[in-house]
Amino acid sequence: LQNDRASVSTMEHFVLVMNPGDKDDITNQIAARNGKTIMFVKTQRGADRLADKLAHAGVSVGALHGGKTQAVRTRTLALFKDSVNAALVATDVAARGIHVDGISLVVHVDAPTDHKDYLHRAGRTARAGEAGTVVTIATTKQQKSIGGLTSRAGVTPKFVGVTPLSTELMKITGAQEPSGIPYIVPIVEKSVRSGGNKRPRPNSSQRRRRPH
């Protein structure tokens, strides 16, 4: 954990406190920011569900977890690394294999229960001397437990109350309103992920990749 602990001292940490009913809108707005963003959730199903919601809102996003094939994980990570996808939704297990420079924001959509997981997640940003921000999404009822978690991690975050597109939210995360135009997952990822839904594309090289 030494690398993660060393990185933590170079980061800014915030706990964004909100009403439960605002969480979906705020999550969408954070994901729509400019720059690479990783959003962590607890379960594989939760990762897929959040990625689908974000894509529907217009965010270029992929989901990364152990339930996907190696080919899909590799492709998803490549799309994120190359900034084709600006956001990545991941589980803790997936976090271990993410080594991508230029990630400026880590979001704990679901707060981890173990402080070691907090550090591993946070360690995905502020790499190679770059600045990084780590935010944890919380309701008022979660403030105490998250305060204990960050204390065990050796982190003293700033607790900030936010609402959708509030000044503080935009200042801390760069949040903005998503386009509302559904994001179409690149065909290679979609075909492996779903096993179907392969529509013809004008590009002949893409058509040749379709199984017959």
**Per-residue model confidence (pLDDT) at position 68:** 92
Q: Under the phi-then-psi rule, with left for phi > 0, alpha for psi from -120 to 50, and beta for the rest, what region is 62?
A: beta
pTM of the model: 0.83
**Per-residue model confidence (pLDDT) at position 9:** 62
Q: Mean pLDDT in runs of 10 for the chain (212 residues)? A: 50 96 98 97 96 97 93 92 94 80 95 93 83 95 95 95 98 97 71 42 44 46
* Residues 185/191, Cβ–Cβ less than 8 Å: no
Q: Which residues pair with 133 in a beta bridge?
A: 12, 105
Per-residue pLDDT reduced to its tens digit, 66-86: 999 999 999 999 999 999 999
Residue-wise DSSP of the chain? -HHHHHHHTTEEEEEEEE-GGGHHHHHHHHHTSSSEEEEE-SSHHHHHHHHHHHHHHT--EEEE-TTS-HHHHHHHHHHHHTTSSSEEEE-HHHHTT---TTEEEEEESS--SSHHHHHHHHTTSS-TT--EEEEEEEEGGGHHHHHHHHHHTT--PEEEE--TT-HHHHHHH-------SPPPPPHHHHHHHHS------S-HHHHHTS--
**Per-residue model confidence (pLDDT) at position 4:** 52
Can you tell me the distance from the alpha carbon of 120 to that of 8, in angstroms, rounded to the nearest whole number?
10
Can you tell me the distance from the alpha carbon of 192 to that of 150, in angstroms, rounded to the nearest whole number?
38
**Per-residue model confidence (pLDDT) at position 204:** 42
Question: What structural domains does the chain harbor?
Answer: 2-182 (3.40.50.300)
